[in-house]
């Protein structure tokens, strides 16, 4: 279990993020077009997982906008923005905001990603959603970086690639 804060109050997650050097767990998510999104889709590329509770929060929306800008600068990498928001909400947000450089993905169908990656919130008002986190996998699926993101991050993107 890990602890993060929400409005200064501690909340817990179901487990721990995958550790650096370990193999990143397989995932199966749903894209805004309702098609499956899985790590195998990005074979041979680095995968940056931007994990967050909901597009309907200012901080999470800002992170997706920022990752979209940064993703346009990356070569041989895919940025996957993951939340429990419905694929329709992801699609609407991306269309409204002009987001075109990231892959939006929802956990709504499998409800397993948050548990597998250790980010599902287990208590507090956001129980069942996912804590903000960034996980970077190399071309072979090995974890290069994993971080629970602080409640009020001063820098939403770190130079990983």
* CATH number of the domain within which 41 lies: 3.40.30.10
Task: Note whether residue 43 is domain-resident.
Answer: yes
State the Rg of the chain over Cα: 14
Task: Note whether residue 157 is domain-resident.
Answer: no
Task: Note whether residue 155 is domain-resident.
Answer: no
Task: Note whether residue 156 is domain-resident.
Answer: no
Task: Note whether residue 153 is domain-resident.
Answer: no
Task: Look up the domain containing 102 and give its range.
Answer: 3-145
Run of H or E residues at 82? strand 77-83
Whether 81 is catalytic: no
Question: Is the pLDDT assigned to residue 157 strictly greater than 90?
Answer: no
Three-state secondary-structure class, residue 96: helix
| Residue 74: per-residue pLDDT | 85
Task: Note whether residue 18 is domain-resident.
Answer: yes
Task: Note whether residue 97 is domain-resident.
Answer: yes
Lowest mean pLDDT, pick from 39-43, 74-78, 134-138: 74-78
Share of the chain above pLDDT 90, in %: 54
Which residues partner with 6 through β-bridges?
Answer: 9
> Where are the strands (E) in 39-107, listed by range?
46-51, 77-83, 103-106
Task: Note whether residue 158 is domain-resident.
Answer: no
Q: Which of 60, 79, 126, 131 does the annotation list as catalytic?
A: 60
| Residue 160: per-residue pLDDT | 45
| Residue 151: per-residue pLDDT | 67
Going by pLDDT thresholds of 50, 70 and 90, the confidence category of residue 156 is: very low
- Asked whether 81 and 93 are in contact (CB, 8 A), the reply is no
Q: How many domains does the chain have?
A: 1
Q: Over the stretch 113-149, which tens digit does the pLDDT of each residue have?
A: 999 999 999 998 889 999 989 999 999 999 999 999 8
Round to whole Å and give the CA distance between 130 and 118: 9
Higher pLDDT, 8 or 155: 8
């Amino acid at each position: 279990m890990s602890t993060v804060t929400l409005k200064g109050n501690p909340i817990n997650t179901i487990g721990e993020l995958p550790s650096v050097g370990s193999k990143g767990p397989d995932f199966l998510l749903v894209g805004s077009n309702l098609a499956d999104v899985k790590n195998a889709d990005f074979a041979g590329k680095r995968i940056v997982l931007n994990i967050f509770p909901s597009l309907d929060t200012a901080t999470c929306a800002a992170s997706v906008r920022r990752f979209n800008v940064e993703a346009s600068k990356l070569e041989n990498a895919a940025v996957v923005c993951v939340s429990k928001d419905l694929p329709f909400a992801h699609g609407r947000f991306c269309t409204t905001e002009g987001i075109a450089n990231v892959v939006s993905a929802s956990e709504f169908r499998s409800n397993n990603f948050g548990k597998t990656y250790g980010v599902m919130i287990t208590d507090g008002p956001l129980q069942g959603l996912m804590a903000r986190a960034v996980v970077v996998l190399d071309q072979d699926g090995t974890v290069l970086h994993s971080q629970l993101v602080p409640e009020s991050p001063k820098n939403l993107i770190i130079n990983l690639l």
